[in-house]
Structure 1
Amino acid sequence: MRHLKKYFKWFFLLPVAILVQGIGFSQELPSILTSSKSDDESYLPDFSYAGYGFGEIEIPNLEGSIINASDYGVIANDGLDDSKALRKALEATKDMIGSTILQLPKGRLILSDVLYLERSDFVLRGAGSGADGTEIYCPRPMMYMKDPEVLAELREYLLQFDKRQREPENNIDLPFSQYAWSGGMIWTQVPGERVKSYLGKYDVPETVVAEISSGERGAHKLRAKNISGLQVGDVVQLQLFNKTGSPDSDLVKDMYKNTDVKVGSHHWEFPTLPLVRQEVLVTKIAKNEITIKTPLTVAIAPGYEARMVKWKHLKQVGIEHLRMTFPDASFIAHHVERGFNGIFLTRLYNSWVRDVVIHNADSGILTEEIANVTISDIQTTGGNKAHYTVAMAGVHNVLVDNLKVFNRAEHPLSFNTFSTKNVYRNCEVFVQPVLDQHSGANHQNLFDNITVHLNPNEDGSYPLFAGGGAPYWKPSHGAFSTFWNIKVSLLSGLDSTSPLLLNGMSDGPFARVIGVYGNHPLKIAYGPKAYIENTNNEIVKIPSLYDYQRTARLR
């Protein structure tokens, strides 16, 4: 943290006149909010359904049966490994009826094996994330633990496709780690369910409950040609496919709006893999019409072979009030992480993580196939370089709120493969920020009221919008990804009279970049047909688009 303190000290000693240089204030509503048009040029998605309870209710302080981990041999601050005792305490909660809280004691606990959370209506609760709270110290990386059976398919995929990190200039030619984007010392899962589809030979028939023939973008009503076993109240996965074997399919064209961007081969080489998916709550069924709680991200046409399938998941799961610490470790290479991973969320719905500090992790919180989850009041810290802090991959309607990133990370904030309608809100990145969109058919995600602190490059630019990801999943994102009220704090270069160029994104079509401002004049270069408004003006009247849209909807 010492390197950050010097930035803060230097920052607050700056003359006020320099601090406000380039800042404007907009009391008017941005034009995109007041436009009566609904075409692609002015379309703005509704992000207000993200988070626990669709943003309509607060995260609960779950009450129920409280199991004290100390009753099962968990002893803090004794310098001995607590893994067996923690697993014993977890096992005791598995068959309990009703809401159950596993309460961890104050002090340092030592964990050298994965804690799998495998039931609904369950909270893993510490005594606080501060110095007098609960610390889970993880001395060993996951690479030294037994290989998780559920990642066997991933390990085979990495070998079969020879996934390696090759950097000749650094004398690096090393195989990817299975923990580069998966796994965590605290891991939610539905036993026996795949984390993610990697190899088609392991695909099994899914239980189809409805075949969907049509639906409009942004609408809640779908037309079905067949409904079988679907009921009101079900949470299912809506899937859309490109089975044409072509990059020129109507679905791909719609996702990227016919822009001149290179579309990677994974968009058409895996016809049984749904290209667009949403986890949806069914609110009404009337003959052949199905109503869902949340709006469609893209219109549905008959050629997409859209369907609803059963989706196995946990619900009402919470992880809260603790901190996780990993030892100091040297950086080897990108994708070669040893597995100092904090939390891995899979197969969750209407759940949460809150008030958690994660120190020195390779990845703080990783996600895969979760929906309507809120991850709030998180800090990531440490001197180790991370891959991710809190990452969203294959998820829908997830809200990450008040994340503070104090450590260096390859992808500090990241929307990854198949992510849709997710929101980073009120987050702040203090070291080498990137607002990453990581390829893989991700679309309609929101960076909302974000603050970044940066040092510009020597040429007067900074790649704030740089998007990662493999070439076979390009472009970096689909249409209508949105940036709203992004505050840029320059730590140096304020003596320059030239505007700072924010760039890094050349292939993300139809983005909405609204209200990027800072303590120095800015200009923006963004990929094809971006809608850019209110540059150098803070949107004071509507600091958060998510809050604005949610208030309007609930009114």
Structure 2
Amino acid sequence: MKRSMLIFPLLCMAIVGKSQQISPLWTDFVTAKQQGTTPILPDFSYAGYHWSEKELPSLTGKKVFKVADYGAIPNDELFDDASIQKAVDAAEANPGGGIVFFEPGKYLVAPDGDAKKQIRISKSGIILKGSGSGTAGTEIYQANMRIHGRQFLFQPEVVSGKKLTTIVADAGRETFAVNVQDASKLKVGQDVVIRHRSEEFTRLYFAPLDLRPQWSRLFGDKGGMQIYEIHTIAKIAGNQVVFKNPVHLDIKLVKSGTWDIESYNSLSECGIEDLRFSSNWKNYPEEFVHHKNEIHDYAYEAVGMEYLKDSWIRNCEFHDLNEGVFIRSGYRMTIENTHFRGKKGHASIHARAGYGVLVKNCSFNGAQHHGAGTGYSAVGTVITNCSLGVDQNIDIHSGQPYATLYDNVEGGVFYNLGGPEPGYPHHGKELVLWNFQHKSVKDQHYDFWDSSRRRNYTIALPILVGFTADKVVTFDHTGINESQGKRVLPASLFEAQLQLRLKGIDLAKAK
């Protein structure tokens, strides 16, 4: 928790690269996995489509529904919302779903300002697929602002879960089993949610860090950080339930609230591919100002993906938008090779609640105030091998997400994190910045638990490994700050953890 200073600029990285050292935290992780003990680092490998155990699907053999066959003709200056919805409805009526296909050209959506009108996908197996995200491909253009209205919304008809049982014993972080009161309503292969909320547990979790009274959502009979961890049941033995994926925090029973297991309702195998989303935001006569008003933050929003499992976005672009992709309660999702461009807006990719959302090989280019980020109970979010613009903010949007990984990310800064003050702290424990390359026009100082300033940083003891920057950067209240100024091995923590889990290969030592 002592202050540390970065004095090695990125210009030294070529020299440092030849003498990169294996991170001691990585060694601890490998040893813990071999010996069955608890590692310091979370296991972030349980992220992405089917936990990254499968490649994204090829779509070979899926039935195709061309939007043109339902009246959506590109480049005709007519609005295509109704025709696209008809194509989606036809795909949903087909057993196994299908591909809703857009031929090259520009399609207009949002003929009015009614934010309640959306193109809805409410069945599994629906893929929106264009003819490429480049200039000769498919563009979906939102003509009118619809404040707080995402133009394409994936969401099941029923999202609320039902209580199934209660956890009756403590369980450690990075373990896989819990003991429950009654397992009769559970079955192997079932997806469930661990839920808890209490002020009592919240104070235990953050101790000895101080909690400010202004963070009002943490306090009272109905207060506390909201725990929402999604898991898949691998085994049931009596009243012990074993999950396929690890629990990412210490479960501690308290008097003031129960730890419940609920059902998780979701769509699966849904995707978006080879499309460019854009909007009329580029012609609005003001440049973006963060939180100036609802127009600046929420006028043009492209995609909502809520309660989706084993779903994805790949090979897409988002241009001139206030918000690109909003994910709520996503489980085992991948966003890859997707890029954000154009007039600056508010948010690019935001994953809240959910478990194991993977953002991989994407670029953000300063096109939104926030690069990819997380908030509000999200667990195990991974942003890896991505690039942000100089002084582009990462997005940790309060609501106490935990166990988040920014991995081999180039660019980005940590000031002006989002979210309302009643929802602070911004982040719980185990925010890991691994080989993060900070880029700013000025020197920066970060106090990661500065409870005295309204717009500052409240992140519980983050873990920094191999942090580098092009300016002088100093810190207070880090949990661990290892090898500052020098990149470490493995280059990508996510890839190394994945290969260790799937193949037993230690990438830090592999030649």
| Shared fold per TM-score greater than 0.5 | yes
The unaligned stretches of length 5 or more in structure 1 are 1-16, 144-178, 195-205, 454-462, 494-499
Instruction: Determine the structure 1 residue equivalent to 2:463.
Output: 512
Supply the distance in 2 between the matched residues of 1:122 and 1:471 (Cα, whole angstroms): 38
Structure 2 residue corresponding to 1:452, chosen from 407, 411, 422: 411
Instruction: Determine the structure 1 residue equivalent to 2:72.
Output: 74
Q: Return the TM-score normalized by structure 1.
A: 0.78
Report whether the alignment pairs 1:386 with 2:309. no
> Structure 1 residues 504 and 300, CA, compared in 2 at 3 Å: closer, same or farther?
closer
Amino acid paired to 1:546: F
Report whether the alignment pairs 1:488 with 2:446. no
Instruction: Determine the structure 1 residue equivalent to 2:12.
Output: 20
Structure 1 residue corresponding to 2:420, chosen from 445, 450, 470: 470
Instruction: Determine the structure 1 residue equivalent to 2:250.
Output: 299
> Structure 1 residues 524 and 553, CA, compared in 2 at 3 Å: closer, same or farther?
farther
> Structure 1 residues 538 and 504, CA, compared in 2 at 3 Å: closer, same or farther?
same
Instruction: Determine the structure 1 residue equivalent to 2:499.
Output: 551
Instruction: Determine the structure 1 residue equivalent to 2:487.
Output: 538
Instruction: Determine the structure 2 residue equivalent to 1:175.
Output: none
Of 325-334 and 347-356, deviating more is: 325-334
Report whether the alignment pairs 1:252 with 2:245. no
Structure 2 residue corresponding to 1:133, chosen from 134, 137, 142: 137
Report how far residue 261 of structure 1 moved.
4.2
Supply the distance in 2 between the matched residues of 1:379 and 1:466 (Cα, whole angstroms): 23
Q: How does 1:35-434 map to 2 (within 5 A)?
A: 35=28, 43-63=40-60, 64-112=62-110, 114-143=118-147, 179=148, 183-193=149-159, 206-214=161-169, 215-242=171-198, 246=199, 249=200, 251-262=201-212, 264-269=215-220, 271=222, 275-303=226-254, 304-327=257-280, 328=282, 329=284, 330=286, 331=288, 334=291, 336-337=294-295, 338-383=298-343, 385-434=344-393
Amino acid paired to 1:487: Q
Supply the distance in 2 between the matched residues of 1:524 and 1:332 (Cα, whole angstroms): 27
- SS for the counterpart of 1:86 is helix
Report how far residue 57 of structure 1 moved.
1.1
Of 220-229 and 327-336, deviating more is: 327-336
Q: Deviations over 1:310-361 (max 9, x none)?
A: 1111011011110011121224761513530011110101110111111111
Supply the distance in 2 between the matched residues of 1:274 and 1:84 (Cα, whole angstroms): 41
Amino acid paired to 2:294: V
Q: Is the 8 A contact 2:70 2:87 kept in 1?
A: yes
Supply the distance in 2 between the matched residues of 1:273 and 1:28 (Cα, whole angstroms): 41
Q: Deviations over 1:436-480 (max 9, x none)?
A: 322212111011110016xxxxxxxxx535433222222221111
The unaligned stretches of length 5 or more in structure 2 are 1-8, 111-116, 450-457, 504-511
Instruction: Determine the structure 2 residue equivalent to 1:503.
Output: 446
Q: Is the 8 A contact 2:448 2:478 kept in 1?
A: no
Amino acid paired to 1:374: T
> Structure 1 residues 62 and 274, CA, compared in 2 at 3 Å: closer, same or farther?
farther
Q: Deviations over 1:41-88 (max 9, x none)?
A: 972111110111112111112231111111111111122211221112
Q: Which runs of 4+ in 1 moved over 6 A?
A: none
Instruction: Determine the structure 2 residue equivalent to 1:14.
Output: none
Report how far residue 278 of structure 1 moved.
0.8
Of 271-280 and 131-140, deviating more is: 271-280
Supply the distance in 2 between the matched residues of 1:105 and 1:307 (Cα, whole angstroms): 47
**What is the root-mean-square deviation of aligned Cα atoms in Å?**
2.6
Q: Deviations over 1:106-138 (max 9, x none)?
A: 111111252111110111111111112111011
Supply the distance in 2 between the matched residues of 1:392 and 1:450 (Cα, whole angstroms): 17
Q: Return the TM-score normalized by structure 2.
A: 0.84
Q: Is the 8 A contact 1:262 1:475 kept in 2?
A: no
Report how far residue 551 of structure 1 moved.
0.9
Q: Deviations over 1:350-400 (max 9, x none)?
A: 1101111111111011111111110111111112x3111111112211001
